[in-house]
């Protein structure tokens, strides 16, 4: 039998594990504490591809910022019903502010980044900034 983990032990666990514990315990997060959505990241020779799970979040409620190698996705997910309307029986989804920060090892071409939401998945394509090799410049004239 596994002993119960104390509060101090839980505080030392990584943020993702804590969120999963809260989610499974149906306690939710405080309204001041942003939650972190799940994301998958892929890359090929030219681009990074980020897929962020944001079911129930409208595109107007998503803010994406990029600074060199750091992508920040944040926003807010609103509850479908307020407690004033109905009695809460069980809440397993996370609501309120969210934030996901992803650091890349390469600089991103911010002018060519695209983002779209389809079926609750935010898809972001981040083209890598191309580093061109040295090119000899011909000299003309006399």
DSSP type of residue 108: B
The values of phi and psi at residue 91, to 5°, are -125, 110
Structural domains in the chain, CATH included, are 34-80+93-130 (2.60.40.790)
What's the pTM?
A: 0.71
Length of the chain measured in residues: 142
Please tell me whether residue 99 adopts helix, strand or coil conformation. Answer: strand
Convert the pLDDT of each residue in 80-99 to its tens digit: 877 777 887 777 778 889 99
pLDDT confidence of residue 125 = 95
Report yes or no: 36 and 54 within 8 Å, Cβ to Cβ.
no
């Amino acid at each position: 039998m596994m002993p119960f983990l104390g509060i101090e032990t839980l505080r030392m666990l990584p943020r993702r594990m804590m969120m999963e514990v809260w989610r499974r315990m149906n306690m939710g997060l405080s309204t001041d504490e942003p939650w972190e959505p799940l994301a998958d990241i892929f890359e090929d020779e030219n681009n990074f591809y980020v897929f962020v799970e944001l079911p129930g979040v409208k595109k107007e409620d998503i803010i994406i910022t990029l600074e060199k190698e750091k992508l920040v996705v944040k926003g807010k997910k609103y509850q479908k019903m307020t407690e004033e309307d109905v009695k809460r029986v069980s809440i397993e989804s996370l609501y309120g502010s969210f934030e996901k920060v992803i650091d890349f090892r390469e600089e991103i071409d911010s002018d060519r980044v695209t983002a779209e939401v389809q079926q609750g998945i935010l898809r972001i394509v981040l083209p890598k900034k191309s580093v061109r090799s040295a090119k000899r410049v011909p000299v003309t004239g006399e």
